[in-house]
Amino acid sequence: MKNLKLAFALLAVSALTLTACGGGASYSAPARTMAETTAAAMDVGAEVYDEKAMVDYCAEAAPQETGAAMDSGGSAGLTDTTPLTAPAAQGRKLIRTVDLTVETTDFQPLVSQITDRTTALGGYIEQSNISGGSVSPSNQSIPKYAELTVRIPSDQLDTFLKEVEAAGNVTNRSENTTDVTLRYSDIESRKKTLAVEQDRLWALLEKADSLDSVIVLEQRLTDIRYELESYETQLKTYDDQVDYSTVTLSVREVLNLSPVEPESTGVRIQKEFMRNLKLVTGGISGFFFWLITCSPILIFLGVIVIVIVLVVRRIVKKRNGTF
């Protein structure tokens, strides 16, 4: 019977702890009443349930609300329009991701510069995929292409982006900023709540005097340990994403850079003239290439044609001489 009482008391403590601390500093009256009733029915007294100590601990463990998240009236600042780059955003957990599409006429130096600057700024290349640079069956050069995923310290991100824009022709840029401050604080709060429950369960385990009680307490402690490790992993993942911004670069090799602003009529005429001149030059060189490479076949066909012509002439002469 005592073991059954201990199990019910354990469930009451767990329910009260998660309800009292799970949402910050709020404390659920129904949950408190249920825990008090259960504790009284089980007659476990202060050994299992100490409401005042639990409330005090949860009040201390609850994360403090910052002025950036609350307005002057104490309500959540949902209408706060402060820019992310303002000093008020420095204490927040912001995850920045940037996608860039870059053109260049000098591929390898640009890729090397991106790699070198990433290392110099304290970042690293998370993923790299470079293709192209070969020749097609029609003897046409295949443009080079690179997909790079770069992790840059968040305080160096703007510097890195400016250097890339100066080194290459950026044709597309998209940026996304995710604020995970509330999620981060919630995970921390849940972690502290589980720590409170873990300490109390250890205290109960020291007083347990039967095998069944030990098994119940150790099973719950194992579950708590697993949840704490999961929360710790999530916090580390958020810290990594906040400390190191992610930049995805698509670098393409081109013959001519795309214009970034409207061109004048003279520039357009010059470009079209040069393009048509290249087409004519390419056509002439292609014709001579075809002529040279196909000359054996052409010579063979020419000989056959000449022989046929000579034979036809001889036949025609003989017929004319007969008549």
pLDDT given for residue 249 in this prediction: 95
pLDDT given for residue 257 in this prediction: 77
pLDDT given for residue 50 in this prediction: 43
Dihedrals phi, psi of 84, to nearest 5 degrees: -65, -25
Please list the residues that pair with 262 across neighbouring strands: none
∠ CA(47), CA(49), CA(50), 5° rounding?
A: 100
Per residue of the chain (323 residues), what is the pLDDT tens digit?
444 455 545 555 555 554 444 444 333 433 443 344 334 333 333 344 343 344 344 444 444 433 333 333 333 333 343 444 443 456 789 999 999 999 998 899 999 999 999 999 999 999 999 987 766 656 667 789 999 999 999 999 999 999 999 999 999 999 999 999 999 999 999 999 999 999 999 999 988 888 988 999 999 999 999 999 999 999 999 999 999 999 999 999 988 877 766 656 776 676 677 778 777 877 787 777 777 888 888 888 888 999 898 888 888 887 776 55
pLDDT given for residue 292 in this prediction: 85
What does each C-alpha distance from 216 to 8, 44, 201, 208, 223 come to in angstroms?
11, 16, 10, 10, 11
Where do the structural domains in the chain lie, given as residue ranges? 92-256
State the number of CA atoms in the 13 A half-sphere of 246 facing the CB.
14
Rg of the chain on CA atoms, in Å: 39
Dihedrals phi, psi of 247, to nearest 5 degrees: -120, 125
Two structure tokens written together for 98: 């940037």
3-class secondary structure, 85: coil
pLDDT given for residue 10 in this prediction: 53
Determine contact, residues 125/149, Cβ cutoff 8 Å: yes
Q: Which residues contact 27 (CB under 8 A, 6 or more apart)?
A: 19, 20, 55, 58
pLDDT given for residue 29 in this prediction: 38
Please list the residues that pair with 173 across neighbouring strands: 100
State the DSSP code for 246: E
